């Protein structure tokens, strides 16, 4: 966890805390934000644990949070930050498709969702909108215009999946093996296999191969 040198200013700056496990992305984002009028980066973290510690230490106005962290899901961190620091705003910045996660982030108490592929200026816009008291998501999500994966008769079952299960399902649909998914999410292979078995039963699928096909279809349709 890294705290930058304080910037001298006559005005009151809004403090931004960045939680992302990719150092290059973290530093690049910090440089962009630090160049914006009225914003300062008060700290950076690469893990969920550091993110929680830093939020308590630096008392930011807004936390920029990735979903996939090495020690814990960012979705869990939203709940923990909201419980401990209810006044802190949260913007999720993720590589994961917005259609799959934005609504969950908002339901958990997050204030916005933006994908890493967006232009840096749009990230700044999202931060400013949220600090002004607004919710930030894409126009497609706000209007309900972006199609969600249409897998017959299983949408309600999808809603019943836990946040970690949804994350595993997406990684499975992206071609990840149990070992690769476990490494990315900080789980052992047996835990991933157990979660996949639970999902297979919840979705009423007959085999592991059927779960994989379902996951691939879901991810591909959701990304269109």
Separation CA 222–CA 150 (nearest Å): 9
User: Mind listing the pLDDT tens digit for each residue in 100-122?
Assistant: 788 888 888 899 999 998 899 99
DSSP output for 117-135: TS-HHHHHHHHHHHHTT--
**Which tokens hold the place of 16?**
């931004």
pLDDT of 148 strictly over 90: no
CATH class of segment(s) 155-222: mainly alpha
Average pLDDT over the chain, rounded to an integer: 83
pLDDT band at 54 (very low <50, low <70, confident <90, very high): very high
Q: What CATH architecture is 14-143?
A: 3-Layer(aba) Sandwich (3.40)
Q: Which residue ranges make up each domain of the chain?
A: 14-143, 155-222
- Closest C-alpha among 110, 127, 136, 91 to residue 14: 127
Give just the sign of the alpha carbon dihedral 85, 91, 97, 98.
positive
Would the pTM count as exceeding 0.85? no
Least confident of 11-15, 63-67, 92-96, 218-222: 218-222
User: Mind listing the pLDDT tens digit for each residue in 174-212?
Assistant: 888 999 999 988 899 999 999 999 998 888 888 888 888
Separation CA 208–CA 205 (nearest Å): 8
């Amino acid at each position: 966890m890294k705290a930058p040198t304080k910037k001298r200013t006559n005005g009151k700056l809004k403090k931004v805390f960045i939680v992302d496990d990719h150092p290059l992305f973290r530093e690049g984002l910090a440089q962009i934000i630090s160049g914006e009028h009225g914003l300062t980066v008060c700290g950076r973290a690469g893990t969920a644990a550091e993110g929680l510690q830093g939020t308590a230490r630096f008392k930011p106005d807004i936390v920029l949070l990735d979903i996939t962290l090495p020690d814990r899901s960012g979705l869990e961190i939203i709940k923990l930050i909201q419980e401990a620091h209810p006044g802190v705003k949260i913007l999720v910045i993720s590589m994961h498709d917005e259609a799959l996660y934005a609504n969950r982030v908002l339901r958990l108490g997050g204030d916005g969702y933006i994908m890493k592929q967006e232009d840096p200026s749009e990230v700044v816009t999202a931060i400013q909108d949220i600090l002004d008291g607004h919710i930030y998501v894409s126009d497609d999500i706000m209007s309900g215009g972006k199609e969600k994966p249409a897998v017959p008769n299983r949408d309600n079952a999808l809603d019943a999946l836990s946040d970690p299960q949804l994350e595993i399902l997406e990684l499975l649909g992206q071609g990840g093996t149990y070992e690769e998914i476990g490494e990315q999410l900080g789980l052992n292979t047996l835990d991933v296999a157990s979660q996949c078995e639970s999902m297979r039963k919840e979705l009423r699928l007959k085999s592991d191969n059927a779960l994989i096909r379902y996951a691939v279809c879901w991810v591909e349709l959701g990304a269109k």
